[in-house]
Amino acid sequence: MIPPINTSLLELFRIGPGPSSSHTIGPMRAARDFLHAVRALPEATKSRAARLEVRLYGSLAATGPGHGTNRAVLAGLLDQAPETCTPEFLQGVNLAPDTPHELDLGGRGFVMHSSDVVLDFAEQGFSHGNTLVPRLLDEQGRPLLERRYASVGGGFIQWEGQPEERRGEPVFPFFDMRSLKLALNESSLPLHELMLMNEAALTGRGQGEILADLDRIMDVMDAAVQRGLSARGKLPGLGLARKAHILLARASAADSGAGRFLLHLDAYAFAAAEENAAGGIVATAPTSGSSGVIPAVLALLRRHQLRDRDTLRRGIIAAGTIGLLVRHNASIAGAEVGCQGEIGAASCMAAALLAYAADLPIWAVETAAEIALEHHLGLTCDPVGGFVQIPCIERNAMGAVKAYNAFLIASVEDQGLNVMGLDGVIRAMLETGRDMSAKYKETATGGLALSRPAC
C-alpha cells in the first residue's frame, strides 16, 4: 500500500539564504545535524578527535563552489541554521584554505580549516547526486563518527540510519491527485480547509499558528521581490547585471496592456530570483533555484488584482499541496530530475495557486497545474559556471508566465475535455528524469553550461 503524504506544508516552504536549497540550505542543515551528533558523543570519544572533514560528492562537488556549499557547510558546523543564518554571516565565512574555524563540540573547543571541506570527484555510486560525508577522525585517521547525508532538494536532507520522525497522522490521507480528489469529495471540504486540518494533525499546531507561519513565508517572498526591484549592480559569480529594476521601468512604459502585464510579471520573478542568486533570504518554493515563480504571481495578485490576504493564503496552500504531490511521487531536485523538478514544479504550483485564488473548481486547479508541468517536461539543469544565474533567473520568469497561461487555459476549458491528468504528468516527469543524462542534472557538464561564448 502506498503511504500517504505526511510532509508538512511548512517543510516545503523553507526560509533561508540563497542561492540553492539543495546546495546551500540542505548542506548547512546536514552539517549542523552532524555537529549536534558530535556533541552527543561521550566525552571520552570527543577527547580523541583530531580532525573533522567533510567530503562533497556528485553535484555538490561539481557546482558546490558556485552555490556556496563550502560556506554553507562551515556555517552549519558553526551551529548556524538556515532559518536564522544571515547573508552577512554566510558571506563572511572565510574560505582561504588555512583559515581556522573555531567549533564548539559541546564543552570542548575544536579547530577545523576551510581546506577540510573537500570536493571529491571520485565516482562513489551513491544513490543520490547530492551527497556529503562528514567524518570526525582520530589521530590515525580512523572515524569516530561518520554520516552519509543526501541533500534531496528543497532543503530536505536524509541520512543512513536516520530515525523516523514521530508526527501525527493526516486526518484525510492521500498520496496522489486521484486520492486527494476522493478525500475532498468524501469530506465535502474545500482544499484549503482539508489541508489545514491535515497540517494541524501532522504538526500538533493550531490553525492560527499555521496561518501565521504561512503569512511569514509570503512576507519573505514579498520582501525578496521588493529588495530585488530596488537593487542595482552586478550579481556575485558571473558578474551578471541585475535586470529586475530595468524590466519594471520598461513595464510602466510599455505601449500595450499585455506588454505591461507580462513585463511586470517578469520583473517580479527576476527580482526574487536575483535576490536568491545574490545569497539573499528567500523561501523555497519548492526550491531556492525556483524561488522567483510563486513570489511573482503573488506580487501580481497583490499589486495588480488587489487580492486580500485570505485569498493569498488559500492560494499558497493550494500551491503547497501540488508541490507535495510532485515531491512525493517524483522529485523537486535538479540533481535527480533536472530543472523540470524545480522550475517545472514551481510553475505547476503557481498555476494551481492562481486557479484556486480565482475560486475555480478542483478539476480546473488540477488542469492548470497539469498544463504548467507538462510544458516543462525534459527541462535540463545546466547552470553556466555552476552558478544560479544563467539560465535560472530567466527560467523563473518563464515559469511564472507559463503558470499564468496554464491558469488562463484551465479557466476557460470545460470539465472533461482535458485528456492528461496531473498524476500522469508527474509520472512522466519522473521517468524523463531517470532517463536524463547526468550531465543535465546540475553538474554543469552539459547543455548551456558548455555553450557560453568566449569573451
CATH number of the domain within which 111 lies: 3.30.1330.90
Residue 354: exposure state from Cβ atoms within 10 A (0-12, 13-18, ≥19): buried
Do 285 and 381 share a domain, yes or no?
yes
Q: Which of 159, 191, 218 is the last residue of a domain?
A: 159
Contact yes or no for 215/313 (Cβ under 8 A): yes
Q: Does the predicted TM-score (pTM) go above 0.85? A: yes
Contact yes or no for 315/356 (Cβ under 8 A): yes
Contacts of 114 (CB under 8 A, 6+ apart): 70, 74, 94, 95, 96, 97, 98, 99, 101
For the chain, what is the domain count?
2
Residue 195 placed within a domain: yes
Among residues 393, 346, 336, the alpha carbon closest in space to that of 372 is found at 346
Residue 10 placed within a domain: no
Q: Which of 126, 159, 192 is the last residue of a domain?
A: 159
Report the pLDDT value the prediction gives residue 455, as an integer from 0 to 100: 41
Report the pLDDT value the prediction gives residue 183, as an integer from 0 to 100: 98
Residue 1 placed within a domain: no
Per-residue pLDDT of 128-155, as tens digits, reads 888 999 999 999 999 999 999 999 999 9
Do 46 and 128 share a domain, yes or no?
yes
Residue 38 placed within a domain: yes
Do 117 and 244 share a domain, yes or no?
no
Residue 235 placed within a domain: yes
Do 265 and 137 share a domain, yes or no?
no
For residue 141, the enclosing domain spans: 15-159
Do 143 and 248 share a domain, yes or no?
no
Do 182 and 154 share a domain, yes or no?
no
Burial state string for 223-240 with b = 16 or more CB within 10 A and e = fewer than 16: bbbbbbbebeeebebbeb
Flag residues of the chain having pLDDT under 50: 455
Look up residue 260 and give its three cell numbers.
505591461
Residue 421 placed within a domain: yes
Residue 4 placed within a domain: no
Do 235 and 125 share a domain, yes or no?
no
Residue 9 placed within a domain: no
Do 377 and 427 share a domain, yes or no?
yes
Q: Which of 159, 188, 216 is the last residue of a domain?
A: 159
Do 217 and 77 share a domain, yes or no?
no
Do 223 and 108 share a domain, yes or no?
no
Contact yes or no for 153/333 (Cβ under 8 A): yes
Do 95 and 215 share a domain, yes or no?
no
Do 116 and 190 share a domain, yes or no?
no
